[in-house]
Amino acid sequence: MKAYPVFESEINSFSVFNGLAMISFSIASALFALAAGIITSAIFAETLTPAAAILTKFVAPILIIASLVALVVGLVANVKRANVWSQIQKETKG
């Protein structure tokens, strides 16, 4: 087992990136599920109401794009967290 001397600021940044990734992935999955529900309902409906047509043509694509943005933010947070961890490991080797 290895023990690394870590400053409190490094732990805080590690925690912030973990939280940001978790929240971003949660938002991405919720938005994608909402868009998938809208699209699935539109596929199986025989006729679309005007509100359903607007949801299908405009709102669902916007939700998918927002979901992709949240996914990218989560991935960036994971990369930043990995950078913090590799920096901690590099500083303790020397």
Instruction: Convert the pLDDT of each residue in 1-53 to its tens digit.
Output: 777 778 888 889 889 999 999 999 999 999 999 999 999 999 999 999 999 99
Asked if 53 and 92 count as a contact pair (C-beta separation under 8 A), the reply is no
Number of neighbouring beta carbons within 10 Å of residue 17: 21
Looking at residue 58, its pLDDT comes to 97
* Distance separating alpha carbons of residues 50 and 73, to the nearest angstrom: 34
Looking at residue 93, its pLDDT comes to 72
So where are the chain's domains?
9-93
Looking at residue 94, its pLDDT comes to 56
Looking at residue 1, its pLDDT comes to 74
* Distance separating alpha carbons of residues 58 and 31, to the nearest angstrom: 14
